[in-house]
Amino acid sequence: MRRKIKIPRVLKIREIRGSGISLVFNNGESRTVDVPRILEHIGIAESAPAAILHRDEEIARAELRNATLSWPNVKQYITLKNGEKRRVPFEIGADVLYAFSIPDRLPDSSQIGTLIRNARMASGFTQEELARKSGTTRTYISRIENNRSDLELATLQKIVETGLEKRLEIRIYDKP
């Protein structure tokens, strides 16, 4: 039986900041790559056309093509079988991007734990009391408040509405 190989794919460029590019992969993860670190790893010489990618303004010209990062501003050529030279963009494959990236902490993700802690304390509840009222454990409440546990939306709703007796409202805003 043939084993299925899962190759990550880049779905979107979230943000380019300096030498880092935040990417969204098809497994739902947002991860940041440091382009100069990758160039160093793959052995791009200072004389190579891709060496311009050590400059932030050139990194910022990245495009998403064929589920990977591509830089049409890098002038490199390949020679075809018939001897013809063809200009191609410099690309870094999604597998390399994934391997040399680190998970992003999404903005404000740590605020959920802080919001729960502040609401619990304002209500005068201990972690144990909130856990009992919301059907969880004190350890789980502690892990949430300290941002050491993922939290499903249904569980968040149960903690907020049943345990804290508050209303949960989630909004999606346009980017500024």
Boundary residue ending a domain (103, 121, 149): 103
The domain of 43 spans: 10-103
Inside any domain, residue 155: yes
Instruction: Examine the domain organization and report whether 85 and 143 are in the same domain.
Output: no
Please give the pLDDT value at position 54.
94
Please give the pLDDT value at position 109.
53
Q: What is the full per-residue pLDDT of the chain (176 aa) written as tens digits? A: 556 657 788 999 999 999 999 999 888 788 999 999 999 999 999 899 999 999 999 999 999 998 889 999 998 899 999 999 999 999 999 999 999 999 886 555 568 888 999 999 999 999 999 999 999 999 999 999 988 887 888 899 999 999 999 998 887 777 66
Instruction: Examine the domain organization and report whether 47 and 99 are in the same domain.
Output: yes
Instruction: Examine the domain organization and report whether 86 and 31 are in the same domain.
Output: yes
Instruction: Examine the domain organization and report whether 25 and 63 are in the same domain.
Output: yes
What's the number of domains the chain is made of? 2
Boundary residue ending a domain (63, 78, 103): 103
Instruction: Examine the domain organization and report whether 96 and 140 are in the same domain.
Output: no
Q: For residues 35 and 21, is the Cβ–Cβ distance under 8 A?
A: yes
